[in-house]
Amino acid sequence: DHRLILSSGQRVLIAGAGSGGDMLVRDLLRTRTGQYQPVGFADDDRRKQGKEIHGFRVFGPIESIPDLVQAHAVDLVMIAIPSANSRDMRRIVQACEKAGVPFRTLPGTQDIASGRAAIQTLREVSIDDLLGREPVSLDWKAIETGLTGRTVMVTGGGGSIGSELCRQIARLDPARLVVFENSEFNLYQIQLELEERAPKVKVQPYLGDVTDRQAVEQAFAQLQPEVVFHAAAYKHVPMLEGMVRSAVRNNVIGTRIVADAAGRHRVATFVLISTDKAVNPTNVMGASKRMAELYCQNLDAHSDTRYITVRFGNVLGSAGSVVPLFREQIARGGPVTVTHPEVTRFFMTIPEACQLIMQAAVLGRGGEIFVLDMGEPIRISYLAEQMIRLAGKTPNEDVEILFSGLRPGEKLQEELFHEKESLFGTEHAKILRARYRRVDWSGLEAKLDALARAVEGLDDGAVTAILQDLVPEFRRTQAGEAPSKVVPFEEAREK
């Protein structure tokens, strides 16, 4: 009797009596290590309740977890719903927290399908699980047509977005994957990882800086990329407020150098990775990214290369972002610092962002800005509370949350669209297409030449003035404020 064999282990309640729960209990029975003793299932499907799976009863819905934990002396809840969306995960986690019982989860469907994780690999519930959205449906045939068998370059290929793009592109069997990166350590790390994960893919590391015109030219001439994802950028808002020249040099001039090289070397598709901070920018970082958007959009009309921009909000867990910062603060016992009680941001996971970037790359005809559906904005104080709870602590009891005040250039809310952008739907429900009015090309080039001279002349005042002229909606603030109107994704789609 398997219940006798497993009787010495931790008593486990399995949340989810579908295929994931079925496979999990079979795996627990097959291993027979005695570490875990299943006691039954909790599942919302009334048709399953009262039935048995491999001899274990489906007791009741998720809301009954606290009662089941007490009635059956449960030591651990295993969440076995790989397809669960964030709303379902929050319900399960809240039920476990109410019961005072530890919980673990199976990997998500996409991780299992991609081979990143096995069905039996249990892990801790992450903030991604609670804030992520439903799995994205992609046209993989179109993506493969655009990338498989091609030479693909990713600038900033060792960064948070760039490295994940490299991972996903490597799975599509490109002819060659060029990883262009200015950090020796980051380049080494991603090269090592790609060689282990995708040994058949020809990975070409290139240690260089996007502002080094000669290095960029050499890379394009020697390696002949057909598709370029330009992810290299400075992005830290408060830091760049005091380093205008560096921000513009990297984000504007660097983009111009790479985009121009793509046109000269007849790259088929160039994709600029942008940010919601480029919309009505209140900080140098956002204004510099807006300028990069404008340049690529207008360059498209003067080149055979298709120039496409993809704009989205924050990604969970990227280097220097709020999630790793909160994690460190919680590990130290707090306090967790939030700028303002009402500050919100759009979030998506890094893999989801990269999948939608690749989808947009094959949707684009050139000159568009694609805007990713970021879902509902998340209050940062809520994010802090959830992360504290996931660490097994109580907000403002075990770990204090302190409000430090908005920093220069910060908004209460971010926007995804500019009021003068014409918005259109695409074949993909999670992606909108925006077209911006054209600007005078010769005038734009002349101003960018003047901007480059100001950067080389170390003249921050001139750099700021020219940037303001190029991006007239740029309104630099000392204390962030909410925009007058934030247009939700669904409302924008209806326009």
Using a 10 angstrom Cβ sphere, with 0-12 exposed, 13-18 middle and 19 or more buried, the burial of residue 63 is middle
The span from the CA of 281 to the CA of 312, in Å, is 14
The span from the CA of 357 to the CA of 367, in Å, is 15
Active site includes 277? yes
CB hemisphere CA count around 65 (13 angstroms): 28
The span from the CA of 396 to the CA of 416, in Å, is 33
Q: What six digits make up the tokens of 351?
A: 């893999």
Strands in 329-429 per DSSP E: 336-338, 344-345, 347-349, 369-372, 378-379, 401-403, 422-425
User: At which residue do the structure tokens 């808002």 appear?
Assistant: 237
Ramachandran category for residue 405: left, alpha or beta (phi over 0 → left; psi -120 to 50 → alpha): left
Using a 10 angstrom Cβ sphere, with 0-12 exposed, 13-18 middle and 19 or more buried, the burial of residue 473 is middle
The span from the CA of 183 to the CA of 187, in Å, is 6
Backbone angles phi, psi at 378, to 5 degrees: -105, 130
The span from the CA of 223 to the CA of 175, in Å, is 11
Backbone angles phi, psi at 7, to 5 degrees: -65, -20
The SS3 call for residue 216 is helix
The span from the CA of 28 to the CA of 38, in Å, is 8
**What is the Rg, in whole angstroms, of the alpha carbon atoms belonging to the chain?**
25
Query: For residues 130 and 93, is the Cβ–Cβ distance under 8 A?
Result: yes
Query: For residues 316 and 347, is the Cβ–Cβ distance under 8 A?
Result: yes
- Provide CB contacts within 8 A for 398, sequence distance 6+: 333, 334, 388
Q: Is the peptide bond before 341 cis (omega within 30 degrees of 0)?
A: no
Using a 10 angstrom Cβ sphere, with 0-12 exposed, 13-18 middle and 19 or more buried, the burial of residue 437 is exposed
Q: What six digits make up the tokens of 308?
A: 């496409």
Which of 277, 289, 411, 430 is catalytic? The answer is: 277
List, by residue number, the catalytic residues: 277
